[in-house]
């Protein structure tokens, strides 16, 4: 008589415990499926600190010499910097410091700030440096407002779309691109200045000190405290035109509009976008935190369909660069391959072995996948293009151990052994080779977990998912499958 001691024999003889374990893995995976993060690509925080210095009006060569070279020299000795990259374009210089894998990002950021603050040789025309830790954001979808309309009309409509989208609960980061920023330009006439006895500096000072809001403190009264505030900030071009520059003794005044042309328009830049041959404004929608990429895309699409009838004649709105479609196609591929894999495994086992054996062996695929989904949040793995690829890779190897165990149990049943004895003997005989086969596959994928850098963070999803699926398949083949085969009627009776 076979020895019924040990965990393998215990699970084979206690089908209730095996069923509870199976139901737990299926239920836990189903619950995790609704809570796990869904994104197009894994979120990776690059270990990079950027130093950006505006140098308006300067050519790229001047930016390189006056900004980039000086920043590089100042921060090159900071501990933890692996590589420096500089970009000099018209009006701004950017230096990116890539940090070592083991570097303390916060300490490196503080050291770089201190080093840049000590630079005293920046050109006078440069503005205050902006130093920050680089953040990698993932765009999900874009909304394009386009048509035969003035640039201001498109920008106003795009601003409305941006505000409406950020009002939804599942969307928190939306940016506008493809249009220029608003700008009020004051074009002063030199002849008018001479005619009125003014200087350019006097005009600039008058504009600077006449367009601002000033707090005036507080006055305590018997009825309470009254806060004083002077409201003088101007926001429209015509408001600047009425700004008083000079008041003469006879009471006449010289206004800004008398000596300058005030243009309430857009900044002088080359920013522009076209869609289907028409001028366009682009609203980019990002996924942040735990937001669901597919939910974000669905919300945006529903909003676009609803806003179309309210747009002016000649103006249209469409979605563009929908990255969620790539994710949907990968999920569709996984589901399609999973169905085909389940069907092929079931048909082959049913054709050559037994129908019940084929069913319970095939169940190893969904049980292993659900178990892996349950553990993925614990190891900070989300559903994304890379992890879905790992699931597709796992399809071809996940059920091998269950087939080996099931076939061995079937062989013992064919020899006339009782069901329970056949299940225990079959799983015990194949336990060692199955465990070593799984560990061999785990060892093949494990080195990818130790890849350093951003690429390592990006690719770790593949080995992590494959290893979880393989380990769950081992649990299913050794603890769950034998209990089902011990009660199934197949083989010699």
- Domain residue spans in the chain? 7-40+326-487, 48-133, 138-181+270-322, 183-266
Backbone angles phi, psi at 310, to 5 degrees: -90, 0
Above pLDDT 90, what percent of the chain?
14
Q: Which residue has the tokens 């061999």?
A: 440
- CB neighbours of 391 closer than 8 A, spacing ≥ 6? 334, 369, 372, 465, 469
Provide the pLDDT for residue 27. Answer: 94
What whole-number distance in Å separates Cα of residue 209 and Cα of residue 234?
11
Same fold, 48-133 and 138-181+270-322: yes
Q: Which of 217-231, 240-254, 336-350 has the highest mean pLDDT?
A: 336-350
C-beta of residue 300 within 8 angstroms of C-beta of residue 142: no
- CB neighbours of 108 closer than 8 A, spacing ≥ 6? 49, 78, 79, 80, 81, 97, 99
Burial 401-426 (b: 16+ CB within 10 A, else e): bbbbbbbbbbbbbeeebebbbbbbbb
**pTM exceeding 0.75:** no
Provide the pLDDT for residue 2. Answer: 46
| Confidence check: pLDDT of 251 > 90 | no
Degrees (nearest 5) of the Cα angle 361, 367, 372? 135
Q: Which CATH superfamily is domain 138-181+270-322 in?
A: Multidrug efflux transporter AcrB pore domain like (3.30.70.1320)
| Confidence check: pLDDT of 323 > 80 | yes
pLDDT confidence tier of residue 3, bands split at 50, 70 and 90 = low
Per-residue pLDDT of 418-435, as tens digits, reads: 888 888 888 888 889 999
Class at the top of the CATH hierarchy for domain 7-40+326-487: mainly alpha
Above pLDDT 70, what percent of the chain?
96
- When pLDDT is averaged across residues 240-255 and rounded to a whole number, the result is 76
Interhelix angle 419-445/461-475, nearest 10 degrees: 170
Domain 183-266 has CATH 1.10.560.10: no
At 20, is the secondary structure helix, strand, or coil?
helix
Q: Which CATH superfamily is domain 48-133 in?
A: Multidrug efflux transporter AcrB pore domain (3.30.70.1430)
Strand partners, 271: none
pLDDT confidence tier of residue 254, bands split at 50, 70 and 90 = confident
pLDDT confidence tier of residue 380, bands split at 50, 70 and 90 = confident
Burial 153-190 (b: 16+ CB within 10 A, else e): bbbebbeebbebbeebeebebbebebbeeeebebebee
- CB neighbours of 34 closer than 8 A, spacing ≥ 6? none
Residue 405 vs residues 352, 354, 397, 401, 428: alpha-carbon distances, Å: 15, 14, 14, 6, 9
What is the average pLDDT score of the chain? Answer: 84
Q: Where are the alpha helices (DSSP H) in 41-104?
A: 60-63, 69-75
| Confidence check: pLDDT of 386 > 80 | yes
Alpha carbons within 13 angstroms on the beta-carbon side of residue 381 total: 26
Q: Which residue has the tokens 């009309």?
A: 153
Per-residue pLDDT of 127-162, as tens digits, reads: 889 888 877 677 888 999 998 888 888 888 999 999
C-alpha distance across the termini of the chain, in Å: 19
């Amino acid at each position: 008589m076979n020895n019924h001691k040990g965990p393998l024999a215990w699970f084979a003889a206690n089908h209730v415990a095996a069923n509870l374990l199976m139901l737990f893995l299926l239920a836990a995976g189903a619950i995790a499926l609704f809570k796990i993060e869904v994104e197009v690509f894994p979120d990776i925080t690059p270990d990079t600190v950027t130093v950006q210095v505006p140098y308006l009006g300067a050519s790229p060569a001047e930016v390189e010499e006056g900004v980039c070279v000086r920043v590089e020299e100042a921060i090159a000795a900071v501990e933890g910097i692996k590589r420096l990259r500089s970009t000099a374009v018209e009006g701004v210089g950017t230096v990116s410091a890539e940090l070592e894998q083991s570097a303390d990002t916060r300490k490196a950021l503080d050291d770089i700030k201190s080093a840049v603050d000590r630079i005293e040789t920046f050109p006078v025309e440069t503005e205050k440096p902006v130093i920050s830790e680089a953040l990698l954001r993932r765009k999900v979808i874009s909304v394009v407002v386009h048509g035969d309309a003035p640039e201001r009309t498109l920008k106003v409509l795009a601003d409305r779309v941006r505000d409406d989208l950020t009002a939804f609960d599942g969307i928190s980061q939306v940016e506008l691109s493809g249009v220029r920023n608003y700008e009020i330009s004051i074009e002063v006439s030199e002849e008018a200045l001479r005619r009125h006895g003014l200087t350019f500096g006097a005009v600039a000072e008058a504009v600077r000190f006449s367009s601002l809001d000033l707090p005036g403190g507080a006055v305590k009264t018997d009825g309470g405290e009254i806060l004083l505030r002077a409201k003088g900030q101007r926001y429209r071009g015509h408001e600047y035109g009425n700004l008083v520059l000079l008041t003469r003794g006879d009471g006449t005044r010289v206004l800004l509009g008398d000596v300058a042309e005030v243009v309430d328009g857009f900044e002088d830049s080359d920013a522009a976008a076209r869609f289907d041959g028409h001028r366009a404004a682009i609203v980019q929608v990002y996924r942040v935190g735990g937001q669901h990429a597919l939910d974000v895309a669905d919300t945006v699409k529903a909003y676009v369909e609803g806003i179309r009838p309210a747009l002016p004649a000649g103006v249209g709105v469409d979605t563009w660069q929908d990255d969620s479609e790539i994710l949907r196609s990968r999920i569709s591929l996984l589901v399609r391959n999973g169905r085909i894999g389940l069907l092929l495994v079931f048909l082959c086992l049913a054709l050559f072995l037994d129908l019940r054996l084929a069913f319970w062996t095939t169940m190893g695929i969904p049980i292993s996948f659900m178990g892996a989904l349950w553990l993925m949040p614990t190891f900070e793995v989300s559903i994304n293009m890379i992890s879905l690829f790992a699931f597709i890779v796992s399809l071809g190897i996940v059920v091998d151990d269950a087939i080996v165990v099931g076939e061995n149990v079937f062989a013992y049943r064919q020899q006339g052994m009782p069901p329970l004895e056949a299940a225990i003997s079959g799983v015990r005989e194949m336990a060692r080779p199955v465990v070593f086969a799984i560990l061999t596959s785990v060892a093949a994928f494990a080195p990818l977990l130790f890849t350093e850098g951003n690429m390592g963070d990006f690719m770790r999803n593949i080995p992590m998912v494959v290893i979880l699926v393989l380990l769950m398949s081992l649990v299913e083949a050794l603890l769950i499958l034998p209990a089902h085969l011990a009660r199934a009627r197949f083989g010699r009776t």
